[in-house]
Amino acid sequence: MNALSDLQATLDPSRKSWIESANDSTQDFSIQNLPFGIFSDTRDATRRVGVAIGDEIVDLAALQAEGLLKLPSKADVLTRDTLNEFIALGRDAWRSVRVQLSTLLARDTATLRDDTALRSKVLVRQADAQLHLPVQIPGYTDFYSSKEHATNVGSMFRDPKNALLPNWSEMPIGYNGRPSSVVVSGTPVRRPNGQLKLPDQERPVFGACRKLDIELETGFVIGAGNALGEPVACADAEAHIFGMVLLNDWSARDIQQWEYVPLGPFNAKTFATTISPWIVTLDALEPFRVAQPVQEPQPLAYLRHDGEHAFDITLEVTLRPQQAKQASTISRTNFKHMYWTMAQQLAHHTVSGCNTRVGDLMGSGTISGPTEDSCGSLLESTWNGSKPLTLQEGGSRSFIEDGDELTLSGWCQGVGYRVGFGTCVGEILPALS
């Protein structure tokens, strides 16, 4: 078999693992998935590279030490506390590791399956592990690429007949965010303070954000950078992407409304962005590729690509108030609704000559769908607070309150298996007084 046919075999929906928890069709981390992350555990506090499968983590550093995992380079990249050096080995290396793991973990491979001592060295229960920020992020960019979201927001604050500004349909709109405040799932988020312009007062006041919101997004991680002055062609862009994460770009709507003219969001966005800990590779997502929405007008030549460049990823948001037993589902949508594709976003980002680096994070922008229950933000679903949502155990929400826990989840559903992202969780702490 050649490398491409080996890679294709990792996507076989009939392939099962001897790790039985991976064979549950509602379990995110099937043998077809094999996402990468950074973990430590109760027996070894050292951060290192792992791959999730079922309710286990494969310790890649331990696997390599046992001679069961080969890398194209002899570089010691699997004991690092971020994935950057591993990612920098290139796509052939990522794929080689994927193929080797898929074979080792397959039900009919006895190497690990029948060796209890060896398994104890290379497998760690997820319940015993702590997950960490998977990459060092040199730069973070957030886009604004959902037509439904942009239309909702434009209708809310402008004439609905002119909800989309003229440039929106011509290019992926984006802004440079703050990589220093990107945190991993489970990290508490403190409500920000800032300037608020109240409608009945001439000057702004300073205080805690009153309209704290989520933005349901995905993000993609750059796997191969480009040199300064050398754009990435749209047709080549996906080869520069290592994989995807869930992303919650927390937003202080009232701070943003006052500060964003004329240069856009600043403190309303910089206080925190939460990402999920496991990076799902584009190879794992390949069976779920679908056509992107029709784009009218046809994009300029540098933003055109042939084929299908959207992915059928179900996305869901739940909100659980402090001390509540049950969480309420407040949104369910799908990544396939995104108007601008990841390839177009990267092509546009670099067309000026802007360079990107391994580990750079690109947020999709809020992902909303065509129905009322598929809004990717409370701003939309409550129409700026005028239509509060009713929660499962009673009570309501116009925006997020202190103690609320927000959870993003996402998955692609195959026949008999799932390729999921895990969760992206954040609990809101009170503002500093």
Residues at the binding site for substrate are 144, 158, 256, 260, 366
Q: Which of 115, 148, 99 is nearest to 18 (CA)?
A: 115
| Residues 168/386, Cβ–Cβ less than 8 Å | no
Binding residue ranges: 142, 144, 158, 215, 217, 249, 256, 260, 269, 273, 366
Give the burial class of 291: count Cβ atoms within 10 A of its Cβ; 0-12 exposed, 13-18 middle, 19 or more buried.
Answer: exposed
Kindly name the residue from 132, 149, 309, 349 that is annotated as catalytic. 149
Binding residue ranges for Ca(2+): 142, 215, 217, 249
Q: How far is CA 396 from the centre of its chain?
A: 27
Map residue 171 onto helix, strand or coil: coil
| Residues 25/91, Cβ–Cβ less than 8 Å | no
Map residue 391 onto helix, strand or coil: coil
DSSP 366: -
Dihedral class, residue 202 (left if φ above 0, else alpha if ψ from -120 to 50, else beta): alpha
Per-residue CA distances from 419 to 3, 52, 142, 346, 409 (Å): 22, 11, 24, 24, 12
Residue 62 corresponds to which tokens in the numbers above? 């331990």
The rounded distance, in Å, linking the Cα atoms of 155 and 160 is 4
| Residues 281/376, Cβ–Cβ less than 8 Å | no
Binding residue ranges for Mg(2+): 249, 269, 273
For residue 125, count other CB atoms closer than 10 A to its CB.
13
Q: Which of 292, 283, 148, 166 is nearest to 216 (CA)?
A: 148
The rounded distance, in Å, linking the Cα atoms of 129 and 422 is 14
Per-residue CA distances from 432 to 161, 190, 209, 222 (Å): 41, 8, 11, 35
Looking at residue 349, its amino acid is H
| Residues 57/21, Cβ–Cβ less than 8 Å | no
Q: Which of 415, 349, 432 is nearest to 23 (CA)?
A: 415
The rounded distance, in Å, linking the Cα atoms of 317 and 47 is 29
Angle at 161 between CA 155 and CA 162, to 5 degrees: 75
Q: Which of 320, 339, 322, 340 is nearest to 330 (CA)?
A: 320
Q: Residue 132 catalytic? A: no
For residue 310, count other CB atoms closer than 10 A to its CB.
19
State the catalytic residues. Answer: 149
